[in-house]
Structures are given as structure tokens and as C-alpha cells.
Amino acid sequence: MTEQRPPAPTLDAVAARAGVSRSVASRALNGAPHVSRDKREAVRRAVRELGYVPDTRARALATRRSGTAALVVSGEDPSIFADPFFAQVIVGLSAALEEGDLHLMLCLAASERGRRRVEELLRSRGTDGVMPMAMREGDPLLPVFAASEVPVVFGGLPPGPAPRWYVDVDNAGGARLATEHLIARGCRRVAMISGPADTEVSRARERGHREALALAGREFLAPERGDFTEAGGAAAMSRLLERLPDVDGVFAANDNMAAGALRVLRAAGRDVPGDVSLVGFDDLDTARTREPALTTVHQPVRALGRETARMLLTVLGGGEATPLILPTELVVRSTS
């Protein structure tokens, strides 16, 4: 005689175990708003104790949700996800989305084929929400996002008109802090290694640098541009030394480029910070561990990912959301 399996636990059983109504249990499992933390935790505990497995297909049909949120990056190289910055952003995104029972989908959209896949994803509502990052001016996806019926929350302000929903850091303010620090250190010729000119983050950090120089009555020196990589920072620093051999203060628009600049300065026989003071931007782990330890502007990278995902969850839950700017702060170490 075949042994019968016990029936699978139902949503009603979960609600009874949690001491809530079936509708509250359903809202808690779907990440809907207006469910108290205690009730949400009681439902999650009941799910674990009973071994309840939601029918994802039925839930998707009932809620018209896919259960996913897409991170869209218009980077040109898949190795972008190996960058410590993006690694920390993804950690923050994943942790927040997990709270809302959404899975993270990664989309590279630098190629025409990649962009078409993102457009189809939006048209078919194959994802519940989109979080674009590293957008550049003229990106063909920007007007697609603007017209999308799927909620779009930007991680980092894109070029052009400000979107309805975004989370960014105080890039201009952080750049001012870096440049003011170099001036206070007594640097007479302060220059910048900037990022790509078609990104808003580069423009904002360059704007903050320029403002600090103007307030101090200092000359603004045209920046050398890199691509936010260590190799790009090294090439920019080489050009800077050739053009301005008397430079004694350098603000690099991210830590990767600052690391490249440090390598070139050492090779040129320049002592850091004796001959040239150097400041980066990000405060990644490598800033603390390299020798000498890098003075840099701390931006809450993991929080950028977390708050972007939380804003998306708020919008999906029908809540009100407004743009959020996260603070930055200067961290002084051995390179200045």
C-alpha cells in the first residue's frame, strides 16, 4: 500500500499559526505596505515552521508581479561587476530586495542587443521594477525609462532632466571637501583627475572641485580625464605631470583612479604626501589597506544600493517616494 504524503501547508495554515487573517498573511508574503513589523515577522516564522512554499506562478497571476527587480547597467565591460564599488552596491540591493521577497536580475545594456532585451523586459512587464545605474548622456534607454509603465528608480542621478525617483550621494559636496582639504594642507597647484564627461557623477564632482577653488580664490586647472579604472587614473596622472610638473595637490574622482595616480607619482620619484598630496573618492576597502593609506571621500556605497531598492519597494507598494541624497564625508589618512 502506497504511503500518502501529508497535504502541503496552505496559506490559511500559515495565517492561523501566525495569528493573523489570511489577507494579512498574503500581504506580508507579497511585501505589501501597511503590515506591522511584528505581524510580518510572525508570518515569516510560521512559513519557516510549517515549511510553506508559495505557489509563485499563482501569485504572479494574482498580483501581476514577476517577483524580480532588474539592475540595468550600461557599462561596456562585464567586468564592471567585479569592481568593488558595484560589488558593494549589489550587496545593498540584494539585502533590501530580500526583505520584499524580490529576486535581483542583472542586465548589461551596452550593446544594441542588450538594450533590446531591456526594452522587451519593460514591454512585457517581465520585471516588477528597474534600477538603472552608470547611465551616460545620450543613452538610448533614457527615453525608454521615461516612458515606462514599470517603476524606474535610478541609482545615481542620470544626465539630463532629473527623473521622478532616484537615490544619489552628495557628489559635489564631497568634491568640495576633498579640494578644501588639499588647499588647507597648503597645496598651491591643485588639479583634478575627473571621470568621463558624459556622466552626471563626473560633472557633479568636477563642479564641487571648481566651487572650492573659486571660494579660495584659486585658479581652476582643466582636469585630466580617466574612466574610473586604475589604468585610466595612471594614464591621466602621467598627462597631468607632463602638463603641470609643479602640481602638488591632486583630487581623483574615485579611489581606483587615485590608486593609479599614486603608482605613477611613485614611479616619477614624487613623495606622497611630501611632494604631492592625493585624495580619492569612495572609501573602498582598498583605500584603507593600501600603502600609504588613501585619504578619500567616504560615500555610503552599500547604502546607495539598499536605499535604491527600498525606494523601489515603496513605489511598488503604492507608497510615496521622493529623491534621496546620501551624505559624504572626508576621511583623512596618509596620502595628504
pLDDT tens, residue by residue, 167-192: 999 999 999 999 999 999 999 999 99
| pLDDT tens digits for range 312-327 | 999 998 888 999 999 9
* Residue 311 resides in a domain: yes
The domain boundary, picked from 44, 63, 82, lies at: 63
| pLDDT tens digits for range 14-62 | 899 999 988 788 778 776 667 788 888 998 899 888 888 765 555 544 4
Separation CA 86–CA 91 (nearest Å): 9
Q: Over range 87-109, report the average pLDDT.
A: 90
Separation CA 135–CA 118 (nearest Å): 14
Q: Are residues 35 and 91 in the same domain?
A: no
Helix, strand and coil in the chain, % to nearest 5: 45, 15, 40
> Residues of the chain with pLDDT > 70: what percent?
91
Instruction: Name the most confidently modeled range: 34-48, 72-86, 121-135.
Output: 121-135
* Residue 5 resides in a domain: no
Q: Are residues 165 and 184 in the same domain?
A: no
Judged against a pLDDT cut of 80, whether residue 307 lies above it is answered with yes
Q: Are residues 105 and 139 in the same domain?
A: yes
* Residue 6 resides in a domain: no
Among the listed residues 135, 239, 144, the one whose alpha carbon sits nearest the alpha carbon of residue 193: 239
* Residue 223 resides in a domain: yes
Q: Are residues 296 and 307 in the same domain?
A: no
46, 52, 140, 203 from 234: Cα distances, Å: 55, 55, 31, 20
Q: Are residues 103 and 213 in the same domain?
A: no
Here the CATH number for the domain that contains residue 282 is 3.40.50.2300
Of residues 140 and 82, the one with the higher pLDDT is: 140
Q: Are residues 45 and 133 in the same domain?
A: no
Q: Are residues 79 and 155 in the same domain?
A: yes
Q: How many CB atoms lie within 10 A of CB 90?
A: 17
Q: Are residues 72 and 40 in the same domain?
A: no
Here the CATH number for the domain that contains residue 21 is 1.10.260.40
What's the chain's length in residues?
336
Among the listed residues 196, 201, 66, 82, the one whose alpha carbon sits nearest the alpha carbon of residue 133: 201
Q: Are residues 112 and 129 in the same domain?
A: yes
Nine cell digits for residue 150: 514599470
User: Per the confidence metrics, is the pTM higher than 0.75?
Assistant: yes
Q: Quick one: 244 exposed, middle or buried, by C-beta within 10 A (0-12, 13-18, 19+)?
A: middle
Domains contained in the chain, number: 3
C-alpha gyration radius of the chain: 24
* Residue 42 resides in a domain: yes
| Predicted local confidence at residue 4, as pLDDT | 56
* Residue 332 resides in a domain: no
Q: Please say whether the dihedral angle defined by the alpha carbons of residues 126, 132, 138 and 143, taken in this order, is positive or negative.
A: positive
45, 78, 122, 135, 301 from 159: Cα distances, Å: 44, 22, 21, 7, 20
Q: Are residues 76 and 127 in the same domain?
A: yes
Q: At what angle do helices 200-215 and 171-184 cross, to 10 degrees?
A: 40
Separation CA 154–CA 307 (nearest Å): 11
Q: Are residues 196 and 146 in the same domain?
A: no
What 3-state class would DSSP assign to 166? strand
10, 15, 39, 87 from 50: Cα distances, Å: 9, 11, 16, 35
Decide if 18 contacts 43 (C-beta within 8 A). Answer: yes
Judged against a pLDDT cut of 50, whether residue 1 lies above it is answered with no
**Residue owning grid cell 512559513:** 47
Residue 193 belongs to domain spanning: 171-300
Q: Are residues 190 and 295 in the same domain?
A: yes
Residue 49 falls in which region: left (phi positive, over 0), alpha (psi -120 to 50) or beta: alpha
* Residue 295 resides in a domain: yes
| Predicted local confidence at residue 180, as pLDDT | 98
* Residue 271 resides in a domain: yes
> Which amino acid would we find at residue 134?
A
